[in-house]
Structure 1
Amino acid sequence: MWKTRRTNQIATEMRRYNLGVLEISKTHWTQAAKQRLGIVEMLLYSGHEEENAIHIYGVALMLSKEARNAFMGWASHGSEIIRASFIIKSDGIQCYALTHDDSDDD
């Protein structure tokens, strides 16, 4: 997902299905950042923290305009956990865990 056009495609599908928060696994992005996508969505992502890390794993949360307006803060916890807090007194946590049947080729 680390290519920009895929991010735009996902944002389009998120709007189409009227989703407030979309949890995404296997983003293949490194580092952690908060990024605005145009004037509507916001993307929070967390990947490997090393500067020259390979592009594997990674998690993200894509927020709609409504969720962005209720957004209070977030924390990156490595390449497999991201946490976001909202005014509605609810937290969202996205985790990714490998299973024995999973391959890294996806």
Structure 2
Amino acid sequence: AASLVYQPNMSVSEYLEKSGGATKRADSDSIYIVHGDGSVEKFADGWFDSALSTTVLPGDTIVVPLDIERMNPLVSWTSISSILANFAVTAATLNAIGVFN
């Protein structure tokens, strides 16, 4: 996260570049701007999109969400192993009280 001082006529892409750019885990297709008045605008940066009409004003926040599809493998395996461990404890408990007999 970076905080930058407002500069008139600076584009969303320029603000992103000045803040260090998007990471590998960023969802660059889902960038949006939360304006100071609370309204939200999707940032479009394609051939047929309206990137030029996206204006950044004082108090605006540019949000680059994480790409949930590119989740860290360690986090995934931690979640999976936790689920399997809970399942094993539940099965052992049910076996101990005689549910499977």
**Based on CA coordinates, which of the two structures has the bigger radius of gyration?**
2
Alignment TM-score, normalising by the size of structure 1: 0.28
Higher relative contact order (CA 8 A, sep 6+): 2
Alignment TM-score, normalising by the size of structure 2: 0.29
- Structure having the higher strand fraction is 1
- Structure having the higher helix fraction is 2
